[in-house]
Structure 1
Amino acid sequence: MNATPTQQKTALLPMIICCALFFILGYITWANGALIPFVRLAFNLGTDLQAFFILFASYIAYFFLALPSSWILAKVGFKTGIVLSLVLIVVGALIILPAASQLSYGLFLTAIFVQASGMALLQTAINPYLSIIGPIESAAQRISIVGIFNKTAGIIVPFVLGSILLKDYDRISTKIKDLQTGAEHDALLVELSERIHSPYIGMAIGVAILAVIVYVVKMPEVDVNKEEVVEEQVGVKKKSSIFQYPHLFLGSLAIFFCVAVEVMAGDIIGTYGQLLSLPPFFVKYGTAFTLSCMLLGYFIGIATIPRFISQQAALRVCTLVGIAFTCISVFSSGLTSYFFVAFLGMANALMWPAIFPLGIKGLGRFTKVGSGIMIMGIAGGAIWPLVYGYLKDTLGVDFQHAFLYAMIPAYLYLLYFASYGHKVGQEQKAN
């Protein structure tokens, strides 16, 4: 008589823990939006392009750590992999403290990279887990549910960090510019940089507590190898190499551009608002506006996928809406332009939930490695802001037109993947 409750608890527990982990991922990831104006001021950086290296350090770790993460998971399993990832996040948070005190931008970027390495391991573990614990057709729905927690954290973090790190931003910025380089100037920079201590100490404590909880709690392991047997039963020819799945690599590139447009809309919006000469409120909390729109998009996904629309169709609609909103933003001004950048959050929301299960569909025993290859695509968040910054700061392209040149090619590739790319190499399936 106890069998049913146990099964229900086992089904619910991984989902609850995954929601908590995605909250942590969202909080750390979307802290970048507040960190960009903060590091430019605190570390006395000359251009937005230099400040955008925060995003580079945060997202490039996924490219280098994703495949090693899949190997780690194969050795230690899902649960231990999560604990290791959380430990890395704690270490990164603690390295930030001396980096800020010493005004060492290089060490600060190193700390961000260490944190991102932990997040790469965490992402590589969680996404296939969510895709496999239920029907692949509804994987986008499950990823949308945890995405709500991810984006809720992203909405909260600009208010938490913005109120601490960017307090009196305009006054301090003016004062630093007016001061000559010297003891008083350096003391003000140190005082400003040390604002980061309390939020990151709190982050380290919170993540450490979650690591202990994950270590103690029993969580079921998912055996992705059994998926290979399912493939053979439905008539799919058994494959011997990961390179026999071209849709996986096309999916990884789709993740690249998906994260690129997410970061452009979510992390660059503060800089965009500043260049539009909007009040400081919009500069501080731009990420929160974008992620609020993403949150709305997740609710739409939960309600409609796969009941009313397929993952592929949702992805096509989102890319077309993204193109339209980008064009409106670029060819308008003021708050209209700003809010259409924020509205891109709604267009971008369903992209990751749709792309990831399409990319790993049918991989069977290659699912863990395939997940690592998909996660490598997160490097789009590292590269695309630098492309935008280069166009704007080095080539002298108007900031709105630079935004257009960065966004449209990304959306066009996503439209290709949604329409054709996800089907490449899967023609052997029996009908």
Structure 2
Amino acid sequence: MDSTIEMKNDTLAPAKRNGAVKITFVLVISLFFLWALTGNLIPVLIPHLRKACQLNDFQSAFIDSAYWVSYFFFALPAAWVMRKWSYKTGIITGLLIAAAGALLFFPAAEMRSFGLFLFALFLVAAGMTFLETAANPYITVMGPKETSVQRLNFAQAFNGLGAFVAAFFLSKVILSGKEYSPEQLSAMSPDALNNYLLSEARSVQAPYLAIAGVLLVVALVFRLVHFPKVQEEHGSGFSLNLRVFRHTHFRWGVIAQFAYVGAQVCISSFFIRYAGFSAGMPEMEATTFLGMLLLCFMVGRYAGTFLMQRTSPRLLLLAYSVACVLLLAYCVLQGGLAGVYFLLLVEFFMSIMFPTIFSMAIKDLGNETKTGSAFLVMSIVGGALVPLGLGAVAYYYNVQLAYAVPLVCFAVVAYYAWRHALPAPATELPSS
């Protein structure tokens, strides 16, 4: 049904069609805000559920894994839905799945079940996978190919706004600021300890119920709005076609995106733990700095969009990734309060990386664009796997040394920008 509606929109007069495109553009941009809102609550959930469910650093890293591994499993189904029906159908499906996951936070908190929390996060991320698989390529094909990178960076800037709202406002609702030592916890009576842990767990209920409500309202709006058909070449079917990897710039783009997302998740997810260990910062103060961290990310997106009008996206990606490597070297070797501030700068410089890598990787893929987009979204699984490495280093050594893990990831991004970011003649792979 959606495909029929979209075809009808093509018969509109140019003025009406332009208006429809603008409305659709605004609605799709709202999706960037929404998935940032859910994804950037993870840095708050890690220390929060670490308390409420009594976890260690390695166990708490599975909070990241439960969220980001969903991208690996649902990217191809999302692409299949869009290929068979439409971008619009994929977006509505994602919003409904994410809303179901957000609603599960209520019973998870009542039961204080870490397993159910992880499943709820998995479902929320499954919905966000549909949104990302649809929104990123849709933005790139809504206008001239020459400005696709700048257009996607502009849209992704609203991702930074969602991250800022999550850190500065929702985090204050979830985190209580109550921090007890192991000795204080062991001195509590069983009833007092249970009441404390239950109150900590329940603080996530209201924010996630509100998120579920917003997702459902947005899904209804998308259902009522007609999408204009975009100019894109593709067939009627969808398959897991590995031949897209014959493009060197795409192949290395997937590797770079895996590394980048892993680094991004590490930087923010363990930031509160890093600030506490390296600079002796209390939880609530570190949460304020987390808000500043994600504000730097948002500012970096807008600044990057501006700079890309005057310089090559590839050269900017190279310069920014090298800057991240150098800043993280200080954070690992010296740390302290200066290390915390340097992490703010890392967040600024890494802000352009996801949309820039994404846009360059799918450039000139033609009718393989949706397949390539699905594989790039699958590479977000780096956010599930790389933090486990950081969590293991933090558990066996310390969280400051563990930030060497994202340092290595940014070195991979720098290599991609230096050697493989530009489209080249495709290298044929064996047929499968």
TM-score, normalised by the number of residues in structure 2: 0.90
Please name the residue that 2:401 is paired with.
401
Please name the residue that 1:71 is paired with.
80
Does the Cα contact within 8 Å between 2:21 and 2:227 map onto a contact in 1?
Answer: no
Match for residue 347 of structure 1 among 342, 345, 349: 349
Please name the residue that 1:369 is paired with.
371
Match for residue 279 of structure 1 among 278, 282, 286: 282
Please name the residue that 1:141 is paired with.
150
Does the Cα contact within 8 Å between 1:391 and 1:402 map onto a contact in 2?
Answer: yes
| SS in structure 1 of the partner of residue 403 of structure 2 | helix
> Equivalents in 2 of 1:101, 1:170: separation in Å?
21
Would you say 1:206 and 2:209 are equivalent positions? Answer: no
> Equivalents in 2 of 1:244, 1:163: separation in Å?
47
> Equivalents in 2 of 1:86, 1:156: separation in Å?
19
Distance 1:135 1:173, change over 3 A: farther
> Equivalents in 1 of 2:17, 2:294: separation in Å?
34
> Equivalents in 2 of 1:79, 1:262: separation in Å?
28
Distance 1:159 1:295, change over 3 A: closer
Distance 1:392 1:240, change over 3 A: closer
Deviations 1:288-311 (Å, cap 9, x if unpaired)?
Answer: 222111112111122121x31111
Supply the AA of the counterpart residue of 2:306: A
- The equivalences for 1:211-230 within 5 A come to 211-225=219-233
Q: Which is further off, 317-326 or 84-93?
A: 317-326
Please name the residue that 1:197 is paired with.
205
Match for residue 385 of structure 1 among 375, 384, 387: 387
Distance 1:200 1:362, change over 3 A: same
Would you say 1:310 and 2:312 are equivalent positions? Answer: yes
Distance 1:114 1:226, change over 3 A: closer
TM-score, normalised by the number of residues in structure 1: 0.90
Does the Cα contact within 8 Å between 1:32 and 1:54 map onto a contact in 2?
Answer: yes
Supply the AA of the counterpart residue of 2:112: L
> Equivalents in 1 of 2:399, 2:200: separation in Å?
28
1:191: Cα distance to partner?
2.1
> Equivalents in 1 of 2:143, 2:182: separation in Å?
51
Does the Cα contact within 8 Å between 2:101 and 2:124 map onto a contact in 1?
Answer: yes
Please name the residue that 2:16 is paired with.
6
> Equivalents in 2 of 1:172, 1:111: separation in Å?
29
Deviations 1:246-268 (Å, cap 9, x if unpaired)?
Answer: 32222111111111121122222
Would you say 1:297 and 2:300 are equivalent positions? Answer: yes
Please name the residue that 1:262 is paired with.
264
> Equivalents in 2 of 1:345, 1:132: separation in Å?
28
1:124: Cα distance to partner?
0.5
Would you say 1:420 and 2:411 are equivalent positions? Answer: no
Does the Cα contact within 8 Å between 1:131 and 1:357 map onto a contact in 2?
Answer: yes
Does the Cα contact within 8 Å between 2:234 and 2:368 map onto a contact in 1?
Answer: no
Please name the residue that 1:34 is paired with.
44
1:243: Cα distance to partner?
3.6
1:175: Cα distance to partner?
5.4
Match for residue 98 of structure 2 among 89, 92, 101: 89
Supply the AA of the counterpart residue of 1:170: E
Would you say 1:58 and 2:60 are equivalent positions? Answer: no
| SS in structure 2 of the partner of residue 79 of structure 1 | helix
Supply the AA of the counterpart residue of 1:209: V
1:392: Cα distance to partner?
1.9
> Equivalents in 1 of 2:351, 2:394: separation in Å?
26
Distance 1:192 1:399, change over 3 A: closer
Supply the AA of the counterpart residue of 1:413: V
> Equivalents in 1 of 2:160, 2:64: separation in Å?
17
1:328: Cα distance to partner?
2.4
> Equivalents in 1 of 2:150, 2:326: separation in Å?
25
- Provide the alpha-carbon RMSD of the alignment: 2.2
> Equivalents in 2 of 1:299, 1:240: separation in Å?
35
Please name the residue that 1:102 is paired with.
111
1:88: Cα distance to partner?
0.3
Please name the residue that 1:288 is paired with.
291
> Equivalents in 2 of 1:240, 1:327: separation in Å?
37
Match for residue 140 of structure 2 among 117, 128, 131: 131
Q: Which runs of 5+ in 1 are unaligned?
A: 228-238
Supply the AA of the counterpart residue of 1:329: C
> Equivalents in 1 of 2:186, 2:267: separation in Å?
29
1:171: Cα distance to partner?
5.7
1:14: Cα distance to partner?
2.0
Please name the residue that 1:335 is paired with.
337
1:178: Cα distance to partner?
3.1
Supply the AA of the counterpart residue of 2:82: L
Supply the AA of the counterpart residue of 2:296: C
